[in-house]
Structure 1
C-alpha cells in the first residue's frame, strides 16, 4: 500500500499543480509584512471528539476539514516587541478590534459548511475576525483560497495514506516520513501534527498544520509550497489514534 501511494504521488502532484484552476491571488493590502502562512486542516473525527467538540449538525462526509489559514506575525508587531504568543492569541484584534463577520455568498457558505467544523460560537466567523479581517482581503477570496487548499489536500497521496489508516493507532514518525517521501518536502517543520485527548481519554490526531510560502501556495501540496516554521508546535506523541467517524 505505501509503495503504491508513493509511486503515484509524483504523477498526482504534477497534475494537481498544473491542471487545477487556482482561486484569485491572496494578496494582503495591509500588514503584509509576514513571512509565512499556516494552513490548519482538521482531522474531523478527532477534532470533533476533543475539547469543545462540534455541534450536532456536523457533517460527516469528510475525514479532513478546514480550520483556517493563518498569517505569521507581521514584522511591524515584532518591531514593537509584541510576543508571538500574543499574536497567536489575538491576531487581527491587535489591528482591527471588533471586526464584523464576513459577508459571503451562498455557494461559499455551503462549501464552508461542508468542510469546516461546526462549533458554537462559529468557527467561520472566528477565523475571519482573527486571521483575515486586518489584511485587506476580500472575504470571498480569502475563504476560496483556504477551501481550495483543503480540496487539493483531500485528493493527495498523503490523504489517501491517512484515510487507509483511519480507525487505527499510527506512529508519529511513520506519518511524517510518508509526508516527506510523497511530497519531497525537506523542511523539518513543513508539517506539524496536533493532538488532544478525546472523551475516552485517548490521544487523538486533531489537526495538521502546514507551513506555506505565501507566494507559492498554488503549488500545494508539492514540495515548492513549504517553508520551515520558526516555532516547534508539534505536540503529538510517538503514537496516537487516527480516529474514524
Structure 2
C-alpha cells in the first residue's frame, strides 16, 4: 500500500505542474509523510474536521480580487498556514458559511494555505490568475479548507507562484497537511496558565520529528490563538521559522476559544 501511494505521487509529479527541479525534491520529501499516514502513526486527538460532510451544491465562485502587485521572485522556502476555526467563527460575518454554520461539520484546525516565500523581502504572489481551479477540485479539498472562495484565492495568490496547475498545488498542500498530527487545542484550552510553548509541546508530542523552532504560533493582540504555521525548506523539509512566522514566543500567555 505504501509503494502504491508513493507510485501515485510520482505519477502526479511526472505529469507536470511544478517548476523544474521541484519534482525530485517533493518526491523525496513526501514519501516519508505518506509512510507515516498509511502506517497509522498518531498522537493526541486531532482537532481538524469533525465528521465533515460536503454541501449538496456549490455556488459559483467569483474570480479572486487581486490585492497587491504581481511579484515573481524565486521561491526559497514554504509556510503551511493553519487557522483555528473557533476563533475565526467567533467574529465571522458570515455565520452560515460551511466553516462556521456547523451543518457540514465542526472544524478545529483547517488549512489556510501553503505559501511560497522568498529568501529575503516580500514573498512571490499573484503570478497568474489562470487556469482557475475546476469545481471538482474545489469540492475535493473542502474538508481541508472549508471555504470555497479561499481555495481559489490561495491558488491564485500563492499557488500559481510554485505550480503550473491548481491540481498540483492542492495535491502538494494536501500531502503536507495530512502528514502531521494536529494537537487537540480544544482540550489544551482547559489548561491553566496556558502558554504558546504548551501548544508547541503538544504539537511536538504528536510529531516527534519536528523541532520547536520549526513551529509558529499565531495570536491576535489579545493573546487568542488564531492559528499555527509550519515552516519548510525549499526541499519541503521542516526548517527553522523566520521571526514573523514563528510568532508568539514560548513564554507568551495563550488563550484558545473553544466553541466546538
- TM-score (norm. length: structure 2): 0.60
Looking at structure 1, the residues matched to 214 and 3 of structure 2 have their Cα atoms a distance apart, in angstroms, of: 24
Cα drift, residue 241 of structure 1: 1.6
Give ranges in structure 2 of 5+ residues lacking alignment: 23-71
Do the aligned partners of 1:189 and 1:232 also contact (CA within 8 Å) in 2?
Answer: no
Match of 1:192 among 216, 224, 232: 216
State the partner residue of 1:239.
254
Distance change >3 Å, CA 101–CA 56, structure 1 → 2: farther
> Structure 1's 238 and 167: CA in aligned 2 closer, same or farther, altered over 3 A?
closer
Cα displacement (A) at 1:67: 0.5
Question: How many equivalent pairs are there?
Answer: 194
TM-score by length of 1: 0.64
Name the structure with the higher helix share.
1
Aligned residue for 1:209, secondary structure, equals strand
Instruction: Give the deviation of 1:192 after TM superposition.
Output: 0.5
**CA RMSD, Structure 1 to Structure 2 (Å):** 3.4
Task: State the distance in 2 between where 1:134 and 1:126 align.
Answer: 13
Structure 1 residues 167 and 190, CA, compared in 2 at 3 Å: closer, same or farther? same
Structure 1 67/54 Cα, relative in aligned 2: closer, same or farther at 3 Å?
farther
Q: Which has the higher contact order (CA 8 A, sep 6+)?
A: 1
Decide whether aligned partners of structure 1 residues 235 and 33 sit closer, same or farther in structure 2, where only a CA change above 3 A counts. Answer: closer
1:164 counterpart SS class: helix
Structure 2 vs 1, CA of residues 226 and 167 (structure 1 numbering), >3 Å: closer, same or farther?
A: same
| 1:229 positional shift | 1.8
2:87 and 2:224 in contact (8 A); partners too: yes
What 5-or-longer segments of structure 1 have no aligned partner?
1-17, 79-83, 217-224
Q: Distance in 2 between matches of 1:233 and 1:244?
A: 26
